[in-house]
Amino acid sequence: MRYFTKEWYDEMQVSGYLAYHESLEEWEEELVSYREEGIDYEENYRRNLENMREDLLKFLPEPFHPYIYNGTISHGFPPQELREMAKQWEQEHEARLETINEDYSKHYQSIKDQLPAGAVQLMEQSLHDATVISLEKETEETLIIKLDCSKGFHYFTDIQLTFTGVTKAEIPENFSGARWLYNEIYLNEDRFELHVLFDSPMVEVEIVAQDVKIEVIGQ
């Protein structure tokens, strides 16, 4: 089973889109800030809704759909009925996320002792928000990924991941600048199978390797 997929991520963005203001006063204050900053609220809202429409229709149940079609799903200060529906959906969504996190944690703990030390380090010293500098296939079974972790959660400099014993590497060709979001790991016979969700472009990468070495290469 896969856990941290593009679909999982897209549903989280829907959750963020339904983050309504707690009061009418808060909404009016934000509208004032839009005007002060010279931002056209209506145009900004229309563009965001257009970008989110497909996922809103996909992840939200049918009672939400009329609000999506008429453009009022998150416009201004939504009516109480819509706010209550959103609150209920959000509670259910958070419960699903918690279950996914707990299930993956159990899975990881069950295989941790069978993973090479480098793979454990990769999983436990977060690479979230690290940016791809370069990708190089040094040999048929050696893959090198250099990352800028200056805006990440660990290392805070450039690092190099060297995967050895590689038997599979599903990675786009134009990959520089991609941002590391979430990762998960599995056993694959005598190797590990790493899945990473990247943004810019939004893509799911899969690497099957025997080992990985993490080196700090920045100053």
Q: What's the pLDDT tens digit per position in 67-78?
A: 999 999 998 888
Integer CA distances (angstroms), 166 to 14, 70, 186, 219, in order: 36, 51, 15, 29
Using a pLDDT cut of 70, give the percent of the chain over it: 100
Domain range list for the chain: 6-110, 115-216
* Mean pLDDT value across the chain: 93
Residue 23: per-residue pLDDT: 86
User: What pLDDT sits at residue 173?
Assistant: 79
Q: What is the pLDDT of residues 83-137, one digit of tens each?
A: 999 999 999 999 999 999 999 999 999 999 999 999 999 999 999 999 999 999 8
Alpha carbons within 13 angstroms on the beta-carbon side of residue 143 total 18
Helix, strand, coil % (nearest 5) of the chain? 45, 25, 30
Q: How many CB atoms lie within 10 A of CB 197?
A: 21
pLDDT tens per residue across span 132-184: 999 998 888 999 999 999 999 999 999 999 999 999 999 987 889 999 999 99
Q: Where are the beta strands (DSSP E) in 154-202?
A: 158-164, 168-170, 179-188, 191-199
Query: Average pLDDT for residues 191-216, to the nearest whole number?
Result: 95
CA dihedral 99, 105, 109, 114 (to 10 degrees): 110
Tokens 């050895």 label which residue? 164
What is the per-residue pLDDT for 219?
63
Nearest Cα to 135, choosing from 166, 111, 103?
166
What's the pLDDT score for residue 21?
85
Containing 209, the helix (H) or strand (E) segment is strand 203-209
The pLDDT tens digits for 11-45 are: 999 999 998 888 888 888 888 888 888 889 889 99
| pLDDT confidence of residue 178 | 95
